[in-house]
Amino acid sequence: SAVAADDGSCFETFDSETGDCVYRPSTGGDSKKFTFDSLFGPGSTQEEVYDAVASNIIEGVLDGYNGALLAYGQTGSGKTFTMTGSPSLPGLTPRAIHELYGLIEQTNAEGSGVTVTVKSYFMELYNDQLVDLYYGLEHKSDKKSKPPKLDIKLDAKKMVYIKNAEVKEAGSAEELLKMFESGNTMRHVGSTAMNSESSRSHSIFSVLVEVYNETTHKTTTGKLSLIDLAGSERADKTGAQAERLREAQSINKSLSALCDVISALSTNASFVPYRNNKLTQMMQDSLGGNAKTLMFVNISPADYNRDETLGSLEYASRAKLITNDAAKNADSEEVAALKAEVSRLERQLLSGGGGAGDGADAGAGAAEEKGGA
């Protein structure tokens, strides 16, 4: 867990060296001490943040492990800046993509006998509905186009995937970043009293890295999930009305479900309520699953936001107690070929072509339902 804060007066101490911060109540009462893996104050740069906590996760993805970087916090606290940044101050996502392709180029230069393929899909959760941002880009000019039904599934290794999602291959960091930036333009944003460009949805940008070893004939698949959560909101502060209010209610409902999951995982509860919301279903392999996960909690320590800041710190403390069990995702050459054939047949059926593929695809569908999310 990592906490990033703007300047302010909510803290007695905020020590980036030790990871300790002491929250000061506004009226009386005892101060509260919190300890995190990392703390970043207003003087921290984007580069320092990435190098300190995120870089090792990218190396794991190329080795066949799942990785996840996500940002949580109240509206206007800087989550999107942490995840995406700006052209001159790139955030976690562009830095991760550049590092990933840098590692791929290094692997190719060493002549290690592997072939690396990078694919991605880009999902938005808006008003409790999944939206395929790539599909929106592809059919931007066709207002009558009806997107396919999207289903959240788990494969045999408990990796989340979205059935019927547009999956695109990218041959370079520049190509993948262009796809990410274009997809971001399709997200729902709006103005509130707390944020002039408030994200009205959660976004999950999933990067799939397949590495085929020509010697062992095995394929490893690592998934990097880059998650930008919409901020929690209080209507009395944001001034949200009508559509903005409905969006805020949906955001808060999904974040509440995420809080329930984190609470269950942090206490080793026998039941974890992933299925209570699509957000937690999509994040199932990032939280308490087969992934190396880094959660950023962004806070704004101004007096005006004291209640939200304390809530975010307590949220981060619970998240810190979660232990994930990351394992490598590897398939033999035969299994990898069968998976590719199933995907081809599904695309064929989706585009209206049936025929000889029907029987094989029906079997694949039954397998998915058995292991579905």
pLDDT of residue 189 exceeding 70: no
The pLDDT score that the predictor gives to residue 274 is 94
Q: What is the pLDDT of residue 4?
A: 57
CA distance 314 to 299: 12
Q: Per-residue pLDDT tens for 279-318?
A: 999 999 888 767 788 989 998 767 778 888 888 888 888 8
**Of 184, 173, 87, which Cα lies nearest the Cα of 133?**
184
Whole-number mean pLDDT of the chain? 81
Quick one: 47 exposed, middle or buried, by C-beta within 10 A (0-12, 13-18, 19+)?
Answer: exposed
Q: What is the Cα–Cα distance from 144 to 328, expressed in whole angstroms?
A: 42
Q: What is the pLDDT of residue 322?
A: 83
- The shares of helix, strand and coil residues in the chain, as percent rounded to the nearest 5, are 40, 25, 35
- Distance between CA atoms of 96 and 102, rounded to whole angstroms? 10
pLDDT over 90 (residue 23): no
Q: Which of 12-26, 138-152, 345-359 has the highest mean pLDDT?
A: 138-152
Cα dihedral sign, 178-282-339-337: positive
- The predicted-structure confidence for 332-367, as pLDDT tens digits, reads as follows 566 666 777 777 777 677 666 554 444 433 333 333
pLDDT of residue 333: 60
Q: Which residue has the higher pLDDT, 373 or 205?
A: 205
The per-residue pLDDT for 240 is 47
- Collapsed DSSP state (helix, strand, coil) of residue 245: helix
Sorting pLDDT into bands at 50, 70 and 90, what band is 15? confident
CA angle 98, 79, 101 (to 5 degrees): 10
User: For residue range 39-54, what is the model confidence (pLDDT) as tens digits?
Assistant: 998 889 999 999 988 8
Non-local (6+) Cβ contacts of 302 within 8 A are 6, 8, 9, 10
Q: pLDDT value at position 289?
A: 66
- pLDDT at position 160: 93
Q: How far is Cα 310 from Cα 21, in angstroms, rounded to an integer?
A: 11
- Three-state secondary-structure class, residue 205: strand
| Least confident stretch, 6-20, 250-264, 308-322 | 6-20
Please say whether the beta carbons of 338 and 219 come within 8 A: no
Range scoring the smallest mean pLDDT among 5-9, 179-183, 231-235, 245-249: 5-9
**191 pLDDT more than 50:** no
pLDDT digits (tens, 9 = 90+) for 42-88: 889 999 999 988 888 999 999 888 999 988 888 778 888 999 999 99
Helix axes 92-109, 55-62, angle to 10 degrees: 50
Which 3 state secondary structure label does DSSP give 257? helix
Q: Which residue has the tokens 């959240």?
A: 152
Q: Which pLDDT does position 352 carry in this prediction?
A: 67
pLDDT digits (tens, 9 = 90+) for 268-287: 889 999 999 999 999 998 88
**pLDDT of the residue at 335:** 63
Q: Which stretches of 136-201 are assigned E, i.e. beta strand?
A: 151-154, 160-163, 168-169, 189-190, 198-199
Token code pair at residue 179: 């796809």
3-state SS, residue 133: helix
Rounded-to-integer distance, Cα 273 and Cα 264, Å: 8
pLDDT at 366: 35
Cα separation, 212 vs 278, whole angstroms: 32
Distance CA 183, CA 339 (A): 27
